[in-house]
Amino acid sequence: MDTTATLAALASAAGRGMLAGVAGTAAMTVSSTLEARLRGRGGSSTPEQAAGAVLGVRPRDESGERRFNTLVHWGYGTMWGAVRGVIGAATGAAGVPAALAHLLVVWGAEQAVLPATGSAPPAWRWGAAEVGVDLLHHAVYAAAAGAAYDLLTAAGRP
């Protein structure tokens, strides 16, 4: 495959991955909303805190914080979907192996970025239950994004 065809294939896979990332983010939103209600906790402001630290953005009020948090949550999930596409295009992986690779990359990045931005302590300070809940939500994301990506890829084949 020549360079142009390779770049086109990667771009196409990343685009399908971004669509899949929207599906994964929707699934994670449902998962985390249900879990928060069941456990009687409020929504997470971690996306807003991390992005605010990286971008130097500080919303003016609580309403702005909620909007920024939602925007970051959906943008982050969509962007990580592109990585799912690249995993598939670069390795040929699909199904569960690709979803697991995607989960490891996404969750691993979270574990590095949140402490680095001061948005959350390292996972070893969270306690087993909180680590499990966080991993569950990210697994829901990776499974839904992976299933959506595989469907989009299969739909594009002749």
pLDDT of residue 43: 85
pLDDT of residue 125: 96
pLDDT of residue 83: 98
Q: What is the pTM of this model?
A: 0.94
Counting as low any pLDDT under 70, the low residues of the chain are 1, 158
User: SS3 sequence, the chain?
Assistant: CCHHHHHHHHHHHHHHHHHHHHHHHHHHHHHHHHHHHHHCCCCCCHHHHHHHHHHCCCCCCHHHHHHHHHHHHHHHHHHHHHHHHHHHHHHCCCHHHHHHHHHHHHHHHHHHHHHHHCCCCCHHHCCHHHHHHHHHHHHHHHHHHHHHHHHHHHHCCC
3-24: per-residue pLDDT in tens? 999 999 999 999 999 999 999 9
pLDDT of residue 1: 67
pLDDT of residue 73: 95
